[in-house]
Structure 1
Amino acid sequence: MTPSQFKIFSDFRSSFRSYCDELSSAYGEDLKPLQVAARLKDTPEYPIETPVVYNTALDEITQESEIRLIVIGDNPGKDEQRSYNQKYLVGQSGKIAAGFFLKNPEFQTDFRKNAIILNKTPLHTAKTNHLKYLLKNGGEKIAKIISESQIYMAQKTAQLHKDLCAAASEGGIAPEVWLVGYAELKGKGLFLEYRDELKKSYGESQAWEKVFVFQHFSMNRFSIDLNNFMKSHADFTILEAAHELGRIHKNEIFK
């Protein structure tokens, strides 16, 4: 990153860390019993260690880091919230994502070194759809923070991306945004507030052209979707196919 880009990122990182600390202090004890109850139906027991998860992998990014992607997942799962992790996309979905980029060097991306990984909310649940339990049983207080955290993350992520792209004119890389988790961004999905606030926050910025939408990496849905697309677009390189598919899904989501 250029010095300006690293300053932009460092300010974002500091603000995001403080935000997660504030949420944890204010809501952590309210969230824990709900997170435990939400997983009872379909998830083996595990300790709830971090109800609100800051991504400590951000602390490993330095000015020498070549950031090519901002990847936006859903919310931290059971592996992500473990005290020895506290990092995003380190479970099976993250391993699939890392494997995809390793197998496709055309993207010039090491998932663990060249990507800023964020979520649509830092609130933990074992599975993303468990957020529905929190919304239903947590009362107005929890419903409000689920909503507000989505809006916060959308605003801060859009601003980070816009600023990094603007500062790339000094010789840095203008990163792309890969917004994964297509299903929960449409219909009655969990992250409609994130979706709407994200688009609003970009305004007329040209950085919006570098935002792409995909299926989630979980259960290999991203790769299956991309491979199916390439079957009917045999003349595309994998880079071209990913960008075109990401634009198609983006147009479907952001109508």
Structure 2
Amino acid sequence: MTTVQFNIFSDFRNDFRTYCKKLSEEFSSILIPLQKSAAQKDTPDYPLENPVVYNTALDEITEQSQIRLIVIGDNPGKDEQLSKNQKYLVGQSGKIAASFFQKNPEFNTDFRKNAIILNKTPVHTAKTKHIKFLLSNGDEKIQKLILESQVYMAQKTAELHISLCRAAQTEAEKPEIFLVGYSELKKNGIFTEYKNELKKIYSSAPEEWKKVFVFQHFSMNRFSIDLKNFMLAQNNQDIVQAAHALGTIHKNEIWTLP
């Protein structure tokens, strides 16, 4: 990164770390019982250690880091919230993502070194769908937390991306956004607040918006399967070009739906 880019990132990182700490201090006592109850029906018992998760992998990024992607997942799961981890996309989905980029060097991206990994909310649930349980069974404070955390993440992520692009000295220094988790961005999906706020920020940044791509989630290999099927249908063997085309199609689908 350039010095200006790193300063932009550092400000974002400090703000995000402080935000997660504040949420954890304020909401842990009421979040943990709900998170445990949400997991009881379909998730084996696990140690719930961090109800709100800051991604400590951000602390490993330095001015010498070459950031090519901002990858946005859903929310921290079982592995991500463990105190020994406290990093995003380190479970099975993260392993699939890392393997994808390793197997496809055309992207020139090491998932653990060249990507800023964020989520649509830092609030943990064992499975993303459990957020609906929190919204349905939590009080007004919990409902407000879930929705406002999405707005916060959308605002801060969009501002970070736009600022990094505008501070770049070359085209190669402008990161792209890979926004994964297509289905929950649809109408009545869990992350519609995130979707709406994200587009609002980019309304004044049309050039940077072109670098935002939407995909299926990495889990269950849906990202790779969707991309492979698209390449076969289009008879396109350039995987980077195909990813950009597919990511743009999904983006347009998501933001043109009512």
* 1:107-146 mapped onto 2 (5 Å cutoff): 107-146=107-146
The Cα offsets for residues 65-97 of structure 1, whole Å up to 9 and x where unpaired, read as 000000000000000000000000000000000
- Superposed displacement of residue 187, structure 1: 2.2
Q: Does 1:6 align with 2:11?
A: no
Aligned partner of 1:22 in structure 2 is 22
The Cα offsets for residues 230-255 of structure 1, whole Å up to 9 and x where unpaired, read as 11122340011100000000000011
Which whole-Å CA distance do the structure 2 matches of 1:185 and 1:170 have between them? 32
Give secondary structure in 2 for the equivalent of 1:81. coil
Q: CA RMSD in A?
A: 0.9
* 1:27-176 mapped onto 2 (5 Å cutoff): 27-169=27-169, 173-176=173-176
Which whole-Å CA distance do the structure 1 matches of 2:2 and 2:62 have between them? 10
- Superposed displacement of residue 172, structure 1: 6.4
Which whole-Å CA distance do the structure 2 matches of 1:61 and 1:235 have between them? 34
Which whole-Å CA distance do the structure 2 matches of 1:252 and 1:235 have between them? 21
Give secondary structure in 2 for the equivalent of 1:123. coil
Give secondary structure in 2 for the equivalent of 1:232. helix
Which whole-Å CA distance do the structure 1 matches of 2:221 and 2:190 have between them? 21
The Cα offsets for residues 83-125 of structure 1, whole Å up to 9 and x where unpaired, read as 0000000000000000000000000000000000000000000
Which whole-Å CA distance do the structure 1 matches of 2:171 and 2:54 have between them? 30
Q: Does 1:251 align with 2:252?
A: yes
* 1:206-225 mapped onto 2 (5 Å cutoff): 206-225=207-226
Which whole-Å CA distance do the structure 1 matches of 2:199 and 2:245 have between them? 19
| Amino-acid identity (%) | 69
Consecutive aligned runs of 4 or more in structure 1 exceeding 6 Å deviation: none
Give secondary structure in 2 for the equivalent of 1:128. coil
Show structure 2 runs of 5+ residues with no match.
none
Q: Structure 2-normalised TM-score?
A: 0.97
The Cα offsets for residues 160-201 of structure 1, whole Å up to 9 and x where unpaired, read as 000000000368610000000000000210000000000001
Q: Structure 1-normalised TM-score?
A: 0.98
1:86/1:201 Cα in 2 relative to 1: closer, same or farther (>3 Å)?
same
The number of residues matched between the two structures is 255
